[in-house]
């Protein structure tokens, strides 16, 4: 109890002393702040990308691709095969009609707003049932395309990120002109990075005959995917991979997310090591500036534990202040910041927002705490061991 009282008293003294060594305290705070800022900024990219990709995927929708395809872009299915899938067991029916959407996926060049440079934008041919197999996709502006016409609707993110996709505008891909008739909203998911048109129109424009690239089906229940998988495996006319939409999108984002994490974590670790040096420096100078004060306290009868703990506490307070500052800055600057990048497997752009999530901020604060403890400990030991008599005489 007595020690705790002493710790509080000494800590209060330390903190009151901060203005006298403002520079080195600020350096420690800023150093830790920078670590948390960079950590949250880099990892918020991964978090945002994951959120965008995974919010598109549900467990009761299955996606069927040609066996061995790494993405829709590589896949190919004949009209006959799509009929086999539609009539397979496990597929949810609306009355007599199975809820399925056979789709075509191509890539077109559209200029990015940020650098006016061509980017691979996904262009999807869909049937009206595309809205039934997906969650939360709604026309938010304008109207749905008319079947058989060169009309497109564009995802909200795509509209924000790329040029010339406003409703009412005409955009040209190669020899063909397309009229933008509406915008659709998909809760920020990856679908919003896409342009949609009638699959039949896209088939004829890109000379794909009557073939498709993927089929999405609504499942009777998440478990019925096994029924479907088995039925298709036994059918010699089709050689297909069956995945839940969630599995599919998580495999699509894995590479990029791993890549960002592979950069982000070591980067943060290195920076954190740098910040520990900054904190150490600051606390050593704090101890050396307060040498006489510490010695006086010791002469008055304060114990070495109180001196030690209070020094660590001071360091932790500075580090947490820095962490909070860095986290706040990361949130204000990066959260919701929209970017788009080329996603490997589908070789097309995915538009996503940086997401500075509470989990990231929590991890950042834990890192700050750790930096504070490590940065304070060694100087604290020195402070506690300071020979009282020498320190008193020296200063």
Partner 1 sequence: MKYFGLIWKNVWRKKIRTSLTLLSVFVAFLLFALLSALGYAFKSGEDVADAERLVIIDKVSLINPLPMAYKNRIAATEGVHSVAHASWFGGYYQDPRNQFAQFPTDPYEYFSMYPELEMPEEQLENWAKNRQGAVLGRELAEQFGIKVGDRIPIQATIWTKADGGRTWEFDIEGIFGTNDPRGSTAFFLFHYDYFEEARAFGKGTVGWYILRVTPDADPVQVANAIDLQFANSPNETETSTEAAFAQSFAKQFGNIALIVTMILGAVFFTLLLVSGNTMSQSVRERISELAVLKTVGFTDRAVLGIVLAEAVLIMLMGGLLGLGIGWLLVQGAAQQLGAFLPGIFLSGEAILTAVGIMIGAGIVAGIFPALKAMRLSIIDALARA
Residues that bind partner 1 (CB under 8 A): 23-24, 26-27, 30-31, 34, 37-38, 41-42, 45, 66-70, 73-74, 76, 106-109, 112, 114-115, 117-120, 173-175, 206-207, 239, 263, 267, 270-271, 273-275, 277-278, 280-281, 284-285, 339-342, 347, 349
Q: Which two structure tokens, joined as six digits, stand for 223? A: 């478990």
The residue (of 34 and 152) whose beta carbon lies closer to partner 1 is 34
Q: Taking the complex as a whole, how short is the minimal distance between the CB of residue 13 and partner 1, in angstroms?
A: 21
115: exposed, middle or buried (C-beta count within 10 Å: 0-12, 13-18, 19+)? exposed
The residue (of 66 and 216) whose beta carbon lies closer to partner 1 is 66
Q: Taking the complex as a whole, how short is the minimal distance between the CB of residue 288 and partner 1, in angstroms?
A: 9
Q: Taking the complex as a whole, how short is the minimal distance between the CB of residue 395 and partner 1, in angstroms?
A: 13
Q: Taking the complex as a whole, how short is the minimal distance between the CB of residue 356 and partner 1, in angstroms?
A: 14
Q: Taking the complex as a whole, how short is the minimal distance between the CB of residue 41 and partner 1, in angstroms?
A: 7
Angle at 372 between CA 368 and CA 373, to 5 degrees: 120
Q: Taking the complex as a whole, how short is the minimal distance between the CB of residue 139 and partner 1, in angstroms?
A: 26
The residue (of 126 and 275) whose beta carbon lies closer to partner 1 is 275
Which residues have C-beta within 8 Å of that of residue 155, sequence separation ≥ 6? Answer: 183, 184, 185, 186, 191, 192, 193, 194, 195, 196, 351
The residue (of 114 and 140) whose beta carbon lies closer to partner 1 is 114
Q: Taking the complex as a whole, how short is the minimal distance between the CB of residue 135 and partner 1, in angstroms?
A: 27
Q: Taking the complex as a whole, how short is the minimal distance between the CB of residue 384 and partner 1, in angstroms?
A: 16
The residue (of 144 and 321) whose beta carbon lies closer to partner 1 is 321
The whole-angstrom separation of Cα 288 and Cα 294 is 9
Q: Taking the complex as a whole, how short is the minimal distance between the CB of residue 351 and partner 1, in angstroms?
A: 10
The residue (of 184 and 352) whose beta carbon lies closer to partner 1 is 352
The residue (of 199 and 306) whose beta carbon lies closer to partner 1 is 199
The residue (of 174 and 301) whose beta carbon lies closer to partner 1 is 174
The residue (of 272 and 306) whose beta carbon lies closer to partner 1 is 272
Q: Taking the complex as a whole, how short is the minimal distance between the CB of residue 360 and partner 1, in angstroms?
A: 16
Q: What is the 3-state secondary structure (H, E, C) of the chain?
A: CHHHHHHHHHHHHHHHHHHHHHHHHHHHHHHHHHHHHHHHHHHHHHHHHHHHHHCCCCCCEEEEEECCCCCHHHCCECHHHHHHHHCCCCECEECCEECEEEEEEEEEEEEECCCCCEEEEEEEEECCCHHHHCCCCEEEEECCCCCCCCEEEEEHHHHHHECCCCCCCEEEECCEEEEEEEEEECCCCHHHHCEEEEHHHHHHHCCCCCCECEEEEEECCHHHHHHHHHHHHHCCCCCEEEEEHHHHHHHHHHHHHHHHHHHHHHHHHHHHHHHHHHHHHHHHHHHHHCHHHHHHHHHHCCCHHHHHHHHHHHHHHHHHHHHHHHHHHHHHHHCCCEEEEEECCCCEEEEEECCCCHHHHHHHHHHHHHHHHHHHHHHHHHHHHCCHHHHHHHC
The residue (of 78 and 86) whose beta carbon lies closer to partner 1 is 78
């Amino acid at each position: 109890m007595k020690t705790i009282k002493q710790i509080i008293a000494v800590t209060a003294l330390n903190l009151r002393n901060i203005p006298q060594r403002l520079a080195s305290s600020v350096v420690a705070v800023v150093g830790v702040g920078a670590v948390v800022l960079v950590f949250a900024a880099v990892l918020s990219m991964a978090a945002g990308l994951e959120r965008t990709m995974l919010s598109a995927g549900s467990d009761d929708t299955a996606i069927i691709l040609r066996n061995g395809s790494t993405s829709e872009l590589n896949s190919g299915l004949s009209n006959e095969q799509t009929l086999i899938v539609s009539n397979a067991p496990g597929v949810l029916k609306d009355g007599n009609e199975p809820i399925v959407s056979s789709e075509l996926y191509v890539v077109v060049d559209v200029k990015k707003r940020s650098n006016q440079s061509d980017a691979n934008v996904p262009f999807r041919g869909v049937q009206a049932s595309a809205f039934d197999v997906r969650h939360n996709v709604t026309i938010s502006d304008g109207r749905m395309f008319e079947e058989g016409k060169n009309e497109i609707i564009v995802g909200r993110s795509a509209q924000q990120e790329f040029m010339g996709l406003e409703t009412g505008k005409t955009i040209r891909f190669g020899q063909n002109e397309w009229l933008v008739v509406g915008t659709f909203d998909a809760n920020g998911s990856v679908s919003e990075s896409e342009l949609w048109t009638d699959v039949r129109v896209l088939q004829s424009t890109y000379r794909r005959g009557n073939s498709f690239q993927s089929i999405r089906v609504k499942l009777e229940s998440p478990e019925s995917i096994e029924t479907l998988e088995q039925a298709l495996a036994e059918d010699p006319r089709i050689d297909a991979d069956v995945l839940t939409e969630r599995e599919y999108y998580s495999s699509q984002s894995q590479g990029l997310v791993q890549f960002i994490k592979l950069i982000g974590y070591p980067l943060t670790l290195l920076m954190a090591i740098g910040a520990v040096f900054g904190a150490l420096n600051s606390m050593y100078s704090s101890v050396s500036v307060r040498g006489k004060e510490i010695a006086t306290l010791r002469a008055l009868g304060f114990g070495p534990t109180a001196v030690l703990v209070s020094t660590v506490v001071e360091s932790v307070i500075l580090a947490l202040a820095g962490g909070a500052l860095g986290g706040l800055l990361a949130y204000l600057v990066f959260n919701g910041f929209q970017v788009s990048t080329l996603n490997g497997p589908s070789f097309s752009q995915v538009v996503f927002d940086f997401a500075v999530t509470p989990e990231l901020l929590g991890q950042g604060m834990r890192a700050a705490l750790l930096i504070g403890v490590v940065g304070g400990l060694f100087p604290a030991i020195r402070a506690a061991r300071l020979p009282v008599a020498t320190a008193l005489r020296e200063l």
